[in-house]
Amino acid sequence: MNSLVDYRFLAGKAAASAVLGWAGVTLLGNPDAVSAAFVAVICTSPIMLSGLKRARDQVLGSLIGGAVAALFAWIGLPFPLELALGVGLAVYLTMRLGFGAGFQVAAFTAIYLLLIPRGTPAHTLLIRLSSVAVGGTAAVAVNGLVSLAMYVRIFQRKERLATGLVAAQLRAIVATPEPPADGIEDLFVTLGALQSELADAVKELAWRKNPRLSYQVGRMANTARRLMNVAHQTRNSLLQVRDECRSWAAEERDALDGLAHELQSGDSYAGPIPLSLQKVFAAARR
């Protein structure tokens, strides 16, 4: 689970998206309100562009799953085999065609068409697709409205938490007599997710032509890149220490603790920087 997520904020957006998706299909007279609300929650994301990508994958995954299920329904295979082949092929094709984020919805659409038919397979698919599209649109609308008003606050919080995570890992390394190299691996997942979100945010703000916000988010993207470099260089130093079958020297511990303080407070570490950690410090200050 992404440790930078504000769960209360995410819960509020998901709830708003679900209600808006349900209201949309209800107004259109579509009986599949469950799919609209469910897809709206799946497409909830920190920014509009990320949600738009998710919505695209959900719609295309639903189309693939529905087409596969309709094909097997038309062939008329025995039901257990029909269901197994429909779900399996829907997931395979969705992943194979590059819409991996929509594989669950592809499978669910195949199940929906085979287990809850509403007239002909084509009619059932149309109901399902329109419901998925409404749900995705609802989530994109909520993502766009909220992110536009709270971009800086959202990413300032994530930047602060990410910096704290890197500093905490450095302090954990200092406190461990024989540091394991595996403790830092989770940072790569967290920082990678943050970098991906910030890259989408920069693209979206360029499209919205908001130079002030673009500059602020771009600065945060540079911070995330720098933190990722620190994590990589720190892991390399850990591996070097382990390969040398030794523990951290006192000056190395002092330097790592000083860098952790520097990251969180902004006060530059003025002590000696051992040769083994010079790349770590260079990554933090570049």
Span 87-104, mean pLDDT? Answer: 90
Judged against a pLDDT cut of 80, whether residue 133 lies above it is answered with: yes
First-to-final CA distance of the chain: 29
- Tokens 């000696």 sit on residue: 272
Residue 27's pLDDT is what? Answer: 95
Angle between helices 33-42 and 48-75 (to 10 degrees): 140
**Percentage of the chain with pLDDT > 70?**
95
Instruction: List the domain boundaries for the chain.
Output: 7-143, 151-285
- CB atoms < 10 A from the CB of 33, how many? 18
Span 255-262, mean pLDDT? Answer: 91
Based on DSSP, count helices (H) and strands (E) in the chain, helices before strands: 10, 0
Judged against a pLDDT cut of 60, whether residue 169 lies above it is answered with: yes
C-alpha 59/C-alpha 77 separation (Å) is 26
Span 136-151, mean pLDDT? Answer: 83
Span 32-56, mean pLDDT? Answer: 85
Q: Where are the strands (E) in 79-194, listed by range?
A: none
Judged against a pLDDT cut of 70, whether residue 182 lies above it is answered with: no
Residue 258's pLDDT is what? Answer: 92
Span 15-26, mean pLDDT? Answer: 95
Q: What is the average pLDDT value for the chain, to the nearest integer?
A: 85
Q: Is the dihedral of CA 207, 211, 213, 218 positive or negative?
A: positive
